[in-house]
Amino acid sequence: MAHGARAEPAAIEGGVTGSLCGDEARMAETVKKLLADDELRAKVGRAARTSVEARPGPANVCQNFGARYRRLAGAEHAAG
């Protein structure tokens, strides 16, 4: 859940991985809704976790670069 101008819309898919709340009243309403609905809270939590884990973090980025460099080095070595 995010509020106001500091929210990162690309990080939250409204109604799926969280909620973008434009004002405090909307945020309070969303919190109450999540607190009252265990199934919804679990569903949104799972979707949010899956979304975050799918994004390339620093370790994943480093692994991808390393794999690319190894492929390139292998291709150059074979051609050399």
Q: pLDDT tens across 5-30, in order?
A: 565 667 788 889 988 888 889 999 99
Q: Which domain holds residue 6?
A: 2-79
Maximum Cα interatomic distance, the chain, rounded to a whole number of Å: 66
Helix ranges (DSSP H) in 1-80: 24-36, 38-54, 58-79
Give the per-residue pLDDT at 59.
74
Residue 34 pLDDT more than 70?
A: yes
Residue 77 pLDDT more than 60?
A: yes
State the chain's mean pLDDT as an integer. Answer: 83
Closest CA to 54 of 8, 5, 11: 11
| Number of domains, the chain | 1
Give the per-residue pLDDT at 12.
84
Residue 54 pLDDT more than 60?
A: yes
Give the per-residue pLDDT at 44.
94
From its phi and psi, is residue 15 left (phi > 0), alpha (psi between -120 and 50) or beta? left
